[in-house]
Chain A
């Protein structure tokens, strides 16, 4: 039973890592789009 905790921990941590990375991509996308809009306004 105790070993199953390790199994679920591994699966959850995998998706946490991927989610963090995807989140960073989304943040970078929105920041760059804002920068581009500002540059086009000028």
Chain B
């Protein structure tokens, strides 16, 4: 496993560099938008990756609620955090694309844009809950929030089908046509971002393991001391297993 991480890191770096080359050099220029359309090669794969991570967060939260498996809880936390990072990229690159194409940074009231922002806020609130709550029920509350919060994910994805929106139609399955060369570059970029997300999640998972190890060490030290539980109360509640 220790060897796999650096190998995968190198493969991901090469893949990201190749995907960048395809996006900037090989992909044809759009007849209407010019070169600025190339933002989709970062915007769309980031959105798909965020959706996937939020889906894993949803499934892991359900598993945790049913079985109280701490690994499932850790996976849910990791996917929410990395998903928020990718969702942030989506929310930043979208307006940068919209400004030259639509003439505005943000379309107020647009269902796609608003629901994406709400989704981001839901998962940020999930992370805030995880970070600052010292209740023994934090994991359960967070898992419940994740299950309800996940309801927004399909709303974001399907909003362009069911509501009038300025946002372009989906690249796949939306009825629009995309040059196969552009689609190929888009899928390569998604693969590169998926590998990158996997590596980041792996690192974050290891960090979470270390975090819980430190909390257990704190708790053990407090128990081994004179029985003063002031220091142990927080770690015990957060690393309940």
Which positions in A face B, CB cutoff 8 Å?
2-4, 6-7, 9-11, 13-14, 17-18, 21-22, 25, 28-29, 32-33, 35-36, 39-40, 42
- 14 A–B contacts from the bound complex (CB under 8 Å): A3-B33, A3-B35, A6-B99, A10-B42, A10-B93, A11-B39, A13-B96, A18-B196, A25-B203, A28-B207, A35-B214, A36-B213, A39-B217, A40-B217
A40–B213 CA distance with the chains assembled, in angstroms: 11
| A11: contacting residue among B33, B42, B207, B214, CB under 8 A | B42
With most chain A CB atoms within 10 A of its CB, the pick from B20, B33, B96, B217 is: B96
42-58 of chain B: CB within 8 A of chain A:
42-43, 46
Write out the residue numbers on chain A whose beta carbons fall within 8 Å of the beta carbon of B34: 3
Q: Is the CB of B154 closer than 8 A to any CB of chain A?
A: no
A-contact bits for B80-92, CB 8 A (1 contact / 0 none): 0010010011001
B100 CB contact (under 8 Å) in A3, A17, A36: A3
Report whether A29 and B200 are in contact in the complex, using a CB–CB cutoff of 8 Å: no
A33: B residues at CB distance < 8 A: 210
Q: Which residues of chain B have C-beta atoms less than 8 A from A36's C-beta?
A: 210, 213-214, 217
Residue total for B at the interface (Cβ-Cβ under 8 A): 32
Q: Which residue of B lies closest to A26 (CB)?
A: B203
Is B204 in contact with chain A by the CB < 8 A criterion? Answer: yes
Per-residue CB contact flags for chain B residues 209-220 toward chain A (1 = under 8 Å, else 0) read: 011011001100
**Cβ-defined partner of B200 (8 Å) among A2, A22, A39:** A22
Judge whether B13 is part of the interface by a CB distance below 8 angstroms: no
The closest CB in chain B to the CB of A21 belongs to B85
B221 interfacial by beta-carbon distance below 8 Å = yes
Does B238 lie at the interface of the complex (its beta carbon under 8 Å from any beta carbon of A)? no
A7:B214 contact, CB within 8 angstroms: no
A17 to B200, CA, bound (A): 13
Query: Smallest CB-CB separation from B43: which chain A residue?
Result: A10
**B221 with A39: CB separation less than 8 A:** yes
Closest Cβ neighbor of B46 among chain A residues = A14
How many Å lie between the Cα of A6 and that of B46 in the bound state?
A: 17
Residues 1-31 of chain B, each 1 if its beta carbon lies under 8 Å from chain A, else 0: 0000000000000000000100000000000
CA distance A29 to B33 in the complex (A): 43
